[in-house]
Amino acid sequence: MNKNVISVLAMATLLSACGGGGQKPAEKEQSSAKFTGAKGEVKLMTLDPGHFHAALIQKSMYEQIDPTVYVYAPEGDDVNQHLGRIDAFNKRADNPTAWIEKVYTGNDYLEKMLAEKPGNVMMVAGNNAKKTEYIQKAVEAGINVFADKPMVITPEAFPALEQSFKTAAEKGVLLYDIMTERFEITNIIQKELANTPDVFGGLIDGTTEEPAIDILSVHNFCKVVSGAALKRPAWFFDMSQQGEGNADVATHLVDLAQWSAFPEVVLNKTDVQMTSAKHWTTDFTPEQFEKVTGLKEFPEYLKKDVSDGKLKIFANGEMQYKLKGKAFKVTALWDFEAPEGAGDSHYCLMRGKLSNVIIKQTKDEKYKPAVYVEATGATDLAAFEASLKKAVEESISAKYAGLKLTKLADKRWVVEIPAQYSVGHEAHFGQVTEKYLQYLKDGKLPEWEVPNMLVKYYITTEALKLSKK
């Protein structure tokens, strides 16, 4: 079939379509243009949207992004689900979006996008095994890249990512990954407190038993996204395509650790010393697999991971390493389903010379993340509490008004956070997109971002290698 421009508002047409979303030659070469912040100057292309994060970028509209988005993907359920989510955003009663999706489906979707190049920014969120190549091809074509994590899932592919960043610099385009967790208010407060000398006293060196930072995240395969039960693609359960826990979810955790401990400090691979890593499986019954994928049987490519009738995938991982001499522990866990009333959860302990700053999200917190401070090395508790109160209710409140410090015990406090700042994971995608749009306007990323992204992926891929020894 020849070109067939498909609007997300005409979903029925899409399901059987296999055609183009192309541009005339005169309309190409958007990537070389300088961004000024003008209305609609960012022309978005979405490549192979196999993960729901691709749609969450479009949950809001942006003045700088043109409402017409070009989608290139293989035919199948992944792209259909993606367009269905966009359609739902367009049709929702409260603050509907107005996206127009022009879609090309075919086996040559990557080549077609590179040949037509109707946009100047590629967004990619999907099969992680393919993502490193997607990124490399896009930057070689002079296209800015806004990528969901992880950018790479194997140590073998890491050199290709390094080269992509070099190519991006040569081409004058921005390659950036979507670190939503930096916009979670509890992570922000923890970082602020950990970088307040008279409250935290500086990060301890730590040990294997008591690391300077101990961070853990629990994700769930069965979950609700944008008010609807999430249907996951079967390939999501193939760790050679999705990536193991150490190489996937751990990306966020490694990022948070270095972002909090060394804010705006340029890091290097030589700052990293890997200590240990391990991985283990989450096991699925056929019934559980059907519940999240809709498939009654395990696909052929997953049968290598089936034992005793259960699918066993290495979704869980733990790594320990030192960064600039500080001992870090990172743990990524996957459960099938969260307890009633809960969702994905987060824990982070930062050990300082004067106090520990802790994020917890358990039943005691009603499954909402909370920030605690525990005095550990302070000799004058009255002076410490005064400094802590000033940091929370004056310094940090200057940026986030309404924060309050509440004492729980002699050496323990909790930061009370107004509900307006707890916007949820899905809203963070809009926040990080706004940040990326500003970087496009600036024509550059902060000096520390690129080297620190490379350090982050060096750590995650080395942890994967170490866990398999």
pLDDT 10s digits, 261-308: 999 999 999 999 999 999 999 999 999 999 999 999 999 999 999 999
pLDDT in tens, 74-113: 999 999 999 999 999 999 999 999 999 999 999 999 999 9
> Quick one: pLDDT at residue 343?
86
Q: What mean pLDDT comes out for the span 356-378?
A: 94
> Is 229 within 8 Å of 270 (Cβ atoms)?
no
Return the DSSP state at 149. S
pLDDT (0 to 100) of residue 33:
63
Predicted TM-score (pTM) of this structure? 0.92
Look at residue 436 and give its three-state secondary structure: helix
Provide CB contacts within 8 A for 455, sequence distance 6+. Answer: 258, 267, 268, 269, 271, 272, 323
User: 369: closest CA among 429, 428, 291?
Assistant: 428
CATH code, 182-426+458-467: 3.30.360.10
Q: What is the pLDDT of residue 10?
A: 39
Are 8-177 and 182-426+458-467 equal in CATH topology? no
C-alpha 469/C-alpha 457 separation (Å) is 19
With beta carbons less than 8 A apart as the criterion, state whether 137 and 114 touch. Answer: yes
d(CA 201, CA 353): 5
Query: 121: how many CB neighbours lie within 10 A of its CB?
Result: 24
**Percent over 90 (pLDDT), the chain:** 88
**pLDDT for 2 beyond 80:** no
Under the banding of pLDDT at 50, 70 and 90, the label for residue 20 is very low
Pick the CATH number of 8-177 from 3.40.50.880, 3.40.190.10, 3.40.50.720, 3.90.1520.10: 3.40.50.720
Domain ranges of the chain: 8-177, 182-426+458-467
Contact yes or no for 281/313 (Cβ under 8 A): yes
In Å, how far are 88, 97, 378 from 93, measured between CA atoms? Answer: 10, 10, 53
Residue 9 burial (10 A CB sphere; 0-12, 13-18, 19+) = middle
Burial class of residue 158 (count of CB atoms within 10 Å of its CB; 0-12, 13-18, 19+): buried
Torsional sign, CA 77, 83, 85, 91: negative
**What confidence category does residue 117 fall into, taking pLDDT thresholds of 50, 70 and 90?**
very high
- The answer to whether the peptide bond before residue 263 is cis (omega within 30 degrees of 0) is no
| Cα–chain center distance at 211 | 24
Cα four-point dihedral sign 201, 203, 205, 206: positive
Q: How far from the centroid of its chain's Cα atoms is residue 88's Cα?
A: 22
> Which residues lie below 8 Å from residue 108, measured CB to CB, with a gap of 6+?
none
Q: Identify the bridge partners of residue 100 per DSSP, sorted by sequence position.
A: 68
The answer to whether the beta carbons of residues 461 and 158 sit under 8 Å apart is yes
Whether the per-residue pLDDT at 25 is higher than 60: the answer is: no
Quick one: average pLDDT of 393-416? 97
Tokens of 280: 């283990």
Over residues 314-320, mean pLDDT: 98
- Provide the pLDDT for residue 230: 86
Which residue from 188, 85, 181, 190 is spatially nearest to 432, judged by alpha carbons?
181
